[in-house]
Structure 1
């Protein structure tokens, strides 16, 4: 195969993998737009493309909007306004006729394993995904399993999968007896294997890119994980080839199935692909545009309802507050903010992203790598480290190690059964407490192995390499983002947020998304330390900032599960008005009770 052809196909593969949106790991789980890879397309084009390739619906069925119209939650005037906004030429009669008609789903690009599935037999399409998933779960294990998967870093993802599959006994159980010989004849290089698979599949050129995208989406969760690895590498100016290797694995599976499929199945597959190519795609886009109009109309109706409620709310008298409390703009903070302002009239709340404008990563003592504490799409600019007495760090390590060894003893193959037999009755009380809901939440990772007193002695330290000018610039960015240009109160509470959960693998998804799925504690502490720095404070005043000389920035953490707010430090500052602090703490308790 010529170098020009190879280069063109590698560009094709790169376009395919760029359509996948990244997903962050469970310990820093955050929401990511699943259509990030289609940001270069219009909403209607992306919706139509996903519907006609992988069968993924982005828009609600028109019957849902017809039901809203019938119930009076959506008005025809809203639809006509949205239609004019999006330049869709349909009048009221057209829309009423359209909403009465049943929906017609577009033709979806067929996958070969789906056509090979037979009633009463194990699903081949499901097996392919499960076989790859089992391998990837072992390959990407980060210490969760008791027995680790032996990896050779020089082989890469594709080479490791090939070796894994050569000894996979489940192939024979599925009827793929000759698959091993095909794998042995396969090129060991990922690049050569991709070219071989593409040539073996013999896909028509108009369907190539879309078919490869469908293959990658069939194992979309792992594809998104590999896209995350690529994303992180590119943030550092490097590259990461696992996503391309995963596409190779999926292509090789498809090519191997093509070699073993019955002729009638292959004929049906080719016929359906040709029909899909010949299908008129313009109608799919037109249908998506009409769906976008109905979506816009429902948003217009919702905004009208919200605006009416806002107009009915009495306006508050403006005053110079004694306390300003900044909370994350997460929706779970809204209820607490409303109640807090109601019980303490001299307090104003502020909404701001929970990372408080500090693009940082954070490294605890003993951690091998820092973790991001900023929006995941941005690169951290400041490296913050944990400062704690050596004896506290040592005690934490010993406690965590003992816990890990105990867990290993309970779950290992050699001791798990004898452990249950001998210690089972000792767990009756705990089982009963869990059944009745009397258990305590799981300890957050940053608090694990620490007592409350030890935790209070831990600080977050900004790097000494930051110049005064840089620190002042960061402080100005924070104050501007908080909207404190018009004056700063004697007490400013910077409340990050986290959660209390038990036995929930998506725990990080309940913490602060702006802090990369971590709690906002580190960011609140770092921002408060920066704004309380005497040198920074004086420089801000010299630049004209109206800051009360008695002003103290207090870091806090809002637990969105219990709605309790814990002030994390700074209460020993001699500038603080003790009576005002007592009033603030009482107001925080009252607001929590009201929530």
Structure 2
């Protein structure tokens, strides 16, 4: 038996013992599920790999996909120029790194080199002669074995690195094409055959007829097995991927197109019929790669030239930053030369950017500490006789509005998660569809529907269906080949009028359109299905049991620290955004409600809080809501900085007095909030004298790429009494969650805040972070060149990855300057030290986030002492 045959048998035996499903599941953690754009919700792209440090993930992504996840030099330089990075903190971070290292060089040499490199202080060395550097590298390459960084790449990527042949582009182009066809949601004229049999089978049956591939490749693909798992196993065997490399190899393929792969992952979690679709995706991709790369196998090993190139860069860095001419290397002892190369190798760009980012974050933390400390002595608790109390979502856009509202009168505000702790799926009146209205990391447990009397509902449904039918018919005509030729002749005049109106008078057009639509639909008064009605076994139960009503009201009130001293009027404020022609509209709605408006949740909670039976049972637990207190629901429209009433029941005399007082001050509050927010938008600035009209224009203009800033520049999550930040202008950068540690002796409330709202805030924070530092990989590029594809997401042009993050305009001030500051979220807890220690002990996942650099933590004890835990 030949050696080669023995080797093949051993490899196959080892592969047969491999559980490929487990390997695929583990590898899938490098990507995150990506749902349709209509359900766009914040997810940070590294949620599945937080057991690795931030720096480890940064290095992996750099080597695998050439993606940088630390802020680049231009972002850091802009922050430095704005004074957002303190030099003392940069020097402190550098010294901490030096203290953790050991070099066989004098400390002053190490420090001088690192300081010069970090500050980009080029020395007096002039243009470096390439021939001399290359010659010196060749002299050193055989004597000094500097380890090359691990490269986890696909074979097609390795081939490109070796000889420049770009099979990766061919492979990606094929996957994009087939994913678009398979995942299409009624946008394509002709549907892909065999979609009901899975992605792999549908592709296999079509690929053999693909004219884009030559006949040899098509013949190779036609002999693939029908089973995706077997096909993937065969391809891995053919490529001779070692047993220990399988997981990393699968990761590299998933990271090649994380958007399309993430959509497959989302599908696998939504349907048991498609639970293996990620396996099928990898089978398609790696089988196709094997067919393309087979003529090039075996790939040659990395050449010595790569090591020489590495040494050249290290020698050049000493010339630039260490004031060390090339010829001086010949005068060094082998030991010192190796030590200098090791220093330059270890103090690479990743370490430098890490230190800059940490200094930036430390500067922000120091500034926040000063802001809170400077106002602490003048803080006075809210009066017990507050005329009205408002519960807002923790969303950073609520912070300026709350501040203006508190200044306008005797009003008290609270911060809590915008879904108000209700694990519900909502269905609006007349709609057959429902959507989860809670954070995407949780699953709904109860369905709440709007309903009305049959006499009112039936005509409303008919009107609603008429509007939907017209829209659907137009869409089908547009995508049908024969009718699409005639459609412009029929619809042209109307569409020209609409285009001109929306382009030249967007604000008025939007107002008129909404009025006409509202008058036509005439939505009747709707009730909520709050009482339990059991649906079929496959569906969620409709409404709440009595015990659930009491539980969720109690939980909501405790989470917002409102269990006593109730005002006559309590306003539960959801929030949403109004924009036109915006694929990312849901990204501006409530992140705690899965990318939907949280107004529905506000109505549900306010209605539950008004139920006499709920109040009576809460009294037995010591939560006494006075009879004169009425709960109402409103929605904070973030694009307009307006408060719109959603649910106002019959008011008591004192509640009515409070309601009228609020109505009087709201116009001024809205005006002041707009005046603070609108000038920050590019192209507006001080040019607009009527901020209210400008806000309406931005929301109605269908050419507007930036209707509002959303949650850009979010940086901190503060958990504590409102008194802590009552007089602080936090510039719409803080998530504010009420918390009173004195009411939480055993810590369950803090634990719930950390595991729920704080996690959602972290996901939002890192989504903005990733979209800023890697906009064309983790963001979605420029809005103006995006293409909505397959009815599920956006691409750049017609052959890119499905883009998963926020557009350029959501995070960038201009082409050259970022608006969002990519800082990892700083969580600040107002509680004694022992409370924080207990929480960390009980929540190892959160502790891991801190230790691995995914989130930062600080606390303020009862004496006002600030402690940093990061």
* TM-score of the aligned structures, taking structure 2 as reference length: 0.60
CA root-mean-square deviation: 3.7
Whether 1:370 and 2:448 are equivalent positions in the alignment is no
Pairs within 5 Å for 1:102-501: 108-114=151-157, 124-153=167-196, 155-171=197-213, 176-232=214-270, 240-261=275-296, 267-268=299-300, 270-271=301-302, 291-313=353-375, 315-316=379-380, 318-320=382-384, 321-343=386-408, 345-364=409-428, 370-389=434-453, 390-391=457-458, 392-438=460-506, 451=519, 454-455=522-523, 457-464=525-532, 466-501=544-579
Q: Which moved more, 1:503-512 or 1:82-91?
A: 82-91
Pairs within 5 Å for 1:25-104: 25-61=36-72, 73-79=84-90, 81-82=92-93, 89=100, 94=110, 97-101=113-117
The C-alpha deviation readout for 1:212-257, integer Å capped at 9, x for no partner, is: 21111111101111222334459xxx97111121111111121111
The alignment partner of 2:647 has SS state of coil
CA apart distance, 1:192: 0.7
The alignment partner of 2:440 has SS state of coil
Distance 1:64 1:336, change over 3 A: closer
Distance 1:482 1:144, change over 3 A: farther
2:810 match: none
The alignment partner of 1:271 has SS state of coil
The alignment partner of 1:348 has SS state of strand
Q: Which moved more, 1:486-495 or 1:475-484?
A: 486-495
1:13 match: 24
Q: Determine if contact 2:30/2:255 at 8 Å carries over to the other structure.
A: no
CA apart distance, 1:535: 0.6
The alignment partner of 1:586 has SS state of helix
Whether 1:532 and 2:607 are equivalent positions in the alignment is no
The C-alpha deviation readout for 1:128-167, integer Å capped at 9, x for no partner, is: 22322222222222234454334442x2111112123223
CA apart distance, 1:84: 7.7
The alignment partner of 1:577 has SS state of helix
The alignment partner of 2:482 has SS state of coil
Q: Determine if contact 2:188/2:479 at 8 Å carries over to the other structure.
A: no
Distance 1:73 1:425, change over 3 A: closer
The C-alpha deviation readout for 1:275-295, integer Å capped at 9, x for no partner, is: 89xx99997799756654442
Distance 1:420 1:203, change over 3 A: same
Which of 33, 41, 47 is 1:22 aligned to? 33
2:233, 2:660 → 1: CA distance?
Answer: 71
CA apart distance, 1:358: 0.7
The alignment partner of 1:258 has SS state of helix
The C-alpha deviation readout for 1:55-99, integer Å capped at 9, x for no partner, is: 222223578768866886434542465468789526897555324
Q: Determine if contact 2:429/2:526 at 8 Å carries over to the other structure.
A: no
Q: Determine if contact 1:215/1:247 at 8 Å carries over to the other structure.
A: yes
The C-alpha deviation readout for 1:10-69, integer Å capped at 9, x for no partner, is: 433332123222223211211111111212212222222222222222223578768866
The alignment partner of 2:583 has SS state of coil
The alignment partner of 1:56 has SS state of coil
Q: How many residues align?
A: 576
Q: Determine if contact 2:86/2:363 at 8 Å carries over to the other structure.
A: yes
* TM-score of the aligned structures, taking structure 1 as reference length: 0.85
Whether 1:521 and 2:599 are equivalent positions in the alignment is yes
Q: Which moved more, 1:82-91 or 1:198-207?
A: 82-91
Q: Determine if contact 1:323/1:346 at 8 Å carries over to the other structure.
A: yes
Q: Which moved more, 1:334-343 or 1:526-535?
A: 334-343
1:385, 1:92 → 2: CA distance?
Answer: 70
Whether 1:548 and 2:613 are equivalent positions in the alignment is no
2:98, 2:415 → 1: CA distance?
Answer: 36
Q: Which moved more, 1:84-93 or 1:73-82?
A: 84-93
Q: Determine if contact 1:498/1:510 at 8 Å carries over to the other structure.
A: yes
Q: List gaps (5 residues or longer) in structure 1.
A: none
Q: Determine if contact 2:204/2:221 at 8 Å carries over to the other structure.
A: yes
Distance 1:20 1:426, change over 3 A: closer
1:109, 1:351 → 2: CA distance?
Answer: 44
Distance 1:453 1:488, change over 3 A: farther
Q: List gaps (5 residues or longer) in structure 2.
A: 1-11, 102-106, 121-145, 311-340, 534-543, 675-870
Q: Determine if contact 1:360/1:372 at 8 Å carries over to the other structure.
A: yes
The C-alpha deviation readout for 1:102-133, integer Å capped at 9, x for no partner, is: 89995644444346669xx9964223223222
Q: Determine if contact 2:464/2:521 at 8 Å carries over to the other structure.
A: no
The alignment partner of 1:326 has SS state of strand
1:494, 1:571 → 2: CA distance?
Answer: 13
Distance 1:26 1:299, change over 3 A: same
1:76, 1:226 → 2: CA distance?
Answer: 45
Whether 1:586 and 2:664 are equivalent positions in the alignment is yes
Q: Determine if contact 1:497/1:557 at 8 Å carries over to the other structure.
A: yes
Distance 1:584 1:209, change over 3 A: same
Distance 1:423 1:55, change over 3 A: closer
2:863 match: none
CA apart distance, 1:491: 0.9
